Structures are given as structure tokens and as C-alpha cells.
């Protein structure tokens, strides 16, 4: 362990005993106490990156809420920035200057006026964003006896996608954030997608940290036979929030190979860096010695992922919707078996359609995988449309066959966000839906209007 003194603040560097000159890739986790000041936090981040780079780190990992931590919701929205903002530009510049990959483990990403994501950004050594993950599990937990009362959903919108692992100098890297560590399904899917390294930038509370932090991280490493890298916030941010710390790097056997201190109010020094090596041969050896993946009983159980493949959507070609063609510009989501697109005639604002990719007229014509994928996608789209239109209810409708009102002979689902008193009689929506495709009904929307809406909706799902 090497101790440096800087500006009357002790900055600790913790180096794994396993490090050697033949290291495949050296990584570092950074730990500090973020405040409400973005400028002050950025100064600390630059200092930590400088120290990590001096210790040969090629990839540097920062904790959740690297940009700021505040207890005031309105202030959080005011301080939040888009990915095109000044602060992300600073992170890109630092990554390029030091020639390092940079994981900004938690960034308040502003989307429009009222929405904000908790976003994990991965920046390469040329200053380009390589991947973006928006936290899908929000920490809404109240345990008064442990002095825990946090409701992340009051300020943040949940993400909608597990992003594929990204190739990096250390191997295939998978992105998550903090509370996601309690949901092993994510890491199992990421491992299935080829991940070598799982990341959990965090700001664990002191109570939950003492009880579960190390146990959860080591469990994710062991069950997936992957490295786990977890940068964490440390110390007291304000009168309402104190973070546990103990940033750590764990090998695929579950051994902690480098770590920073746990929170100790008697030792409030907040800045530290833990450095270790990532060796893919270790992963290969452990996976060969105990081939857990090949022992999984896929004939009994399995995990499936609704994959949003925006980069390859039909290669820009129109989608078939029975005898009609749907421009790809109006499609905002695609899974393995279906796609979602904006509607040419809307009964209510936000009225969208989800159709099967395969051209079949009735639900009974679908196989079990297609049925499961269709309705899981419908729920996913429903949540996004309710958020977009500030709705708390939806009408979900399938007109299965021409005598049920189906005018396009291909299985599709109508999703209509609902608001209080949007119809004089609630069930009138079905009358409007039944005639919405008839002559003299709602006017056709322009392709420009539909494409513009689709572009906006893609922000809920795409990188």
C-alpha cells in the first residue's frame, strides 16, 4: 500500500499484491465523497484519475453519482445535464488526455424538462462514448429503524434495457448500477452475452453496505465466474446521506484482490484508489475447472432478454404489416419477434402499435415464444408511453379477427395511454377504436410527425 499526501488531504492508493509486469490490463476503482458541487467533484475526479494513471491503470472506474449528490429533487433536476453537456465533455477530455478508458459510474442524465436517468457512461481512451446504460432498478426503500428512507423514483426515470457487454482493453465489460446488484438475473444475462467483467458503481448506504455490499458483489463474481469491479461513494454527503465506501475489485473465484476503506466516521478521509490487474486467463482457468455454464439445465429453466437492436433494424427497409409497409423511421422498438411503431391515426395521444414480425393473422397462429415476447414487449412499451404522456393507466387492446374489429390481418396490439376524464364515458374508447380506421375518422398524420415521435420514443430504449 502506498500513501500520498495532497493538499492536506490523505489520498490512499491500494495496490493488489497480485500485480506484476505481465499484467494483461491494469484497472483502478476510485472512491470519494461527492457533494452538490459539480465543479468541486470534477476537481476530485481529475485528481483521482491522475493518481490512478500514475499507477499504470488503463481503465478507471468512478462511482455512482460521480457528478453530484444532493438531497433536493428540484436541485437535482436543475443540475442534471444531457450527454451532450459540458460535464460529459469534460470527462471525454480527461479520458483522452490521460489515454485511459473511463467508466463514469453514475451520471444524472437530463431528458427533456422533467425526466432524468441514472446513467452509467463508458468512455474510451480517444474520448468517445462506447456504451450507455440507464439504471433499470430504482432504489425505493424505507427501513426507518435503519435510518433508510430513499425513493429514487421521485427524481429518476427507470431505464428499459440491459445493454450488451462492450469490448475493452480488459475484456468484455458489462454495465450496471448499484441496486442492480441485488437482481442476479441481469448479471446472468450479461454473462450469457459474453461478459468477462461485471461493474456495479454504487452509493450504498452505510446500513445496507455493512450488511450486504461485499456479500452481494462476491456472489455475482462467483456465480458468473467473472471479475467484478465496484467503485463506490464514501462518507457523509449531506445531513440525509452517508455512503459505505469499500470500493473493490473481485476475481472470478470470488476473492477480493484490491479494495478501498469502509466508511469510518473516525477516519473521514474520502479519497482513495484501488488498483489491480484483470487477467482473462484466470477466467478461462476457473471456467474450465468448474464449467458451471455448461451444467445449466436449459431444458428446465432459462433466462430470455428482450433485445432492442436499433443498429440493425431491417437495415433501413420498411416493415411488413400485412399488405402495408411501415417505414423504419416510424419504428421505435424491435424485439426478437415483434416491433413497435407510431400510429397514423391516433385515438388518444400516444396511441402506438406493437406488431409481430411474422405475418400471421391470429393470436392462435403464434408459437409460445412469440406470444411471450409480444406481451412482454407490450408491457415494456406501455411503461414508456405512460411515462412519456404522464399517464397512470392504459388501454391494451387486441382485435383478434375481422369480426372483432381487426382491419389489418396481422397480429398487433393497440397501446393507448389513459388519463382521467379523457372520455365522457370510459368505455367510449372502444367505440372510437372500432371506427378509427374508417373513412371520415381521424385524419392521417404525416410521416414527418410520426417519425419525429418515433425518434423521441427511441430515447427510452436505445444507446
432 part of the active site: no
User: Among the options 178, 260, 338, 397, which is catalytic?
Assistant: 178
User: Among the options 38, 110, 135, 196, which is catalytic?
Assistant: 135
Whether residue 447 contacts residue 318, with contact meaning beta carbons closer than 8 Å, is answered with no
Backbone torsions φ then ψ of 183, nearest 5 degrees: -120, 90
**CA distance readout (Å), 26 to 49, 134, 147, 423:** 13, 26, 38, 61
User: Among the options 196, 351, 412, 414, which is catalytic?
Assistant: 412
User: Mutual orientation of helices 447-458 and 368-388 as an angle, nearest 10°?
Assistant: 90
Nearest Cα neighbor of 213 from 205, 221, 223 is: 205
64 part of the active site: yes
Query: 484519475: which residue's cell?
Result: 49
**CA distance readout (Å), 410 to 254, 365, 382:** 50, 10, 20
Cα(170)–Cα(424) distance, integer angstroms: 60
Cα(442)–Cα(456) distance, integer angstroms: 23
Whether residue 130 contacts residue 117, with contact meaning beta carbons closer than 8 Å, is answered with no
Whether residue 258 contacts residue 264, with contact meaning beta carbons closer than 8 Å, is answered with no
Which set of grid coordinates corresponds to residue 222? 462467483
How do 140-143 and 115-123 pair as beta strands?
unpaired
The whole-angstrom distance between residue 163's C-alpha and the CA centroid of its chain comes to 7
Nearest Cα neighbor of 48 from 233, 175, 202, 205 is: 233
Q: Helix H segments across 351-439?
A: 368-388, 428-435
Which helix (DSSP H) or strand (DSSP E) does residue 53 occupy? helix 38-54
436 part of the active site: no
392 part of the active site: no
User: Among the options 64, 214, 271, 453, which is catalytic?
Assistant: 64
Cα(29)–Cα(273) distance, integer angstroms: 6
Q: Which residues are catalytic?
A: 64, 135, 178, 412
Amino acid at each position: 500500500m502506498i500513501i500520498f499526501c495532497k493538499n492536506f488531504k490523505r489520498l490512499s492508493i491500494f495496490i493488489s499484491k497480485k500485480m506484476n509486469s505481465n499484467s494483461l490490463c491494469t484497472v483502478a476503482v476510485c472512491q470519494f465523497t461527492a457533494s452538490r458541487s459539480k465543479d468541486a467533484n470534477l476537481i476530485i475526479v481529475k485528481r483521482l484519475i491522475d493518481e490512478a494513471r500514475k499507477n499504470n491503470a488503463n481503465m478507471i472506474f468512478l462511482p455512482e453519482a460521480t457528478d453530484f449528490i444532493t438531497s433536493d429533487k428540484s436541485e437535482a433536476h436543475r443540475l442534471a445535464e444531457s450527454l451532450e453537456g459540458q460535464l460529459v465533455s469534460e470527462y471525454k477530455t480527461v479520458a483522452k488526455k490521460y489515454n485511459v478508458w473511463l467508466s463514469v459510474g453514475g451520471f444524472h442524465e437530463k431528458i427533456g424538462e422533467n425526466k432524468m436517468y441514472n446513467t452509467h457512461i463508458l468512455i474510451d481512451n480517444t474520448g468517445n462514448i462506447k456504451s450507455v446504460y440507464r439504471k433499470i432498478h430504482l432504489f425505493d426503500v424505507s427501513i426507518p429503524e435503519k435510518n433508510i428512507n430513499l425513493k429514487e423514483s421521485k427524481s429518476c426515470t427507470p431505464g428499459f434495457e440491459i445493454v450488451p457487454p462492450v469490448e475493452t482493453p480488459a475484456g468484455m465489460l458489462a454495465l450496471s448500477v448499484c441496486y442492480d446488484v441485488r437482481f442476479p438475473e441481469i448479471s446472468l444475462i450479461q454473462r450469457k452475452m459474453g461478459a468477462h467483467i461485471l461493474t456495479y458503481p454504487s452509493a450504498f448506504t452505510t446500513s445496507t453496505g455493512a450488511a450486504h455490499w461485499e456479500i452481494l458483489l462476491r456472489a455475482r463474481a462467483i456465480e458468473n465466474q467473472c471479475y467484478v469491479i465496484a467503485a463506490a461513494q464514501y462518507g457523509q454527503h449531506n445531513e440525509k446521506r452517508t455512503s459505505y465506501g469499500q470500493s473493490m475489485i473481485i476475481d472470478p473465484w470470488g476473492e477480493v484482490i484490491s479494495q478501498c476503506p469502509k466508511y469510518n466516521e473516525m477516519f473521514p478521509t474520502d479519497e482513495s484508489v484501488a488498483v489491480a490487474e484483470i487477467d482473462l486467463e484466470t477466467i478461462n482457468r476457473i471456467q474450465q475447472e468448474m464449467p458451471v455454464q455448461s451444467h445449466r439445465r436449459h431444458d428446465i429453466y432459462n433466462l430470455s432478454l428482450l433485445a432492442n437492436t436499433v443498429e440493425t433494424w431491417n437495415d433501413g427497409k420498411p416493415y411488413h404489416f400485412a399488405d402495408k409497409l411501415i417505414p423504419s423511421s416510424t419504428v421505435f422498438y424491435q424485439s426478437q419477434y415483434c416491433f413497435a411503431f407510431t400510429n397514423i391515426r391516433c385515438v388518444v395521444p400516444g396511441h402506438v402499435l406493437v406488431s409481430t414480425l411474422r405475418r400471421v393473422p391470429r393470436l392462435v397462429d403464434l408459437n409460445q415464444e412469440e406470444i411471450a415476447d409480444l406481451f412482454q414487449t407490450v408491457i415494456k412499451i406501455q411503461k414508456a408511453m405512460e411515462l412519456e404522456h404522464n399517464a397512470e393507466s392504459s388501454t391494451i387492446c387486441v382485435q383478434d379477427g375481422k369480426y372483432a374489429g381487426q382491419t389489418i390481418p396481422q397480429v398487433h396490439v393497440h397501446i393507448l395511454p389513459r388519463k382521467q376524464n379523457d372520455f365522457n364515458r370510459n368505455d367510449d374508447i372502444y367505440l372510437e377504436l372500432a371506427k378509427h380506421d374508417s373513412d371520415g375518422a381521424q385524419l392521417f398524420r404525416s410521416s414527418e410527425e410520426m417519425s419525429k415521435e418515433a425518434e423521441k420514443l427511441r430515447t427510452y430504449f436505445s444507446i
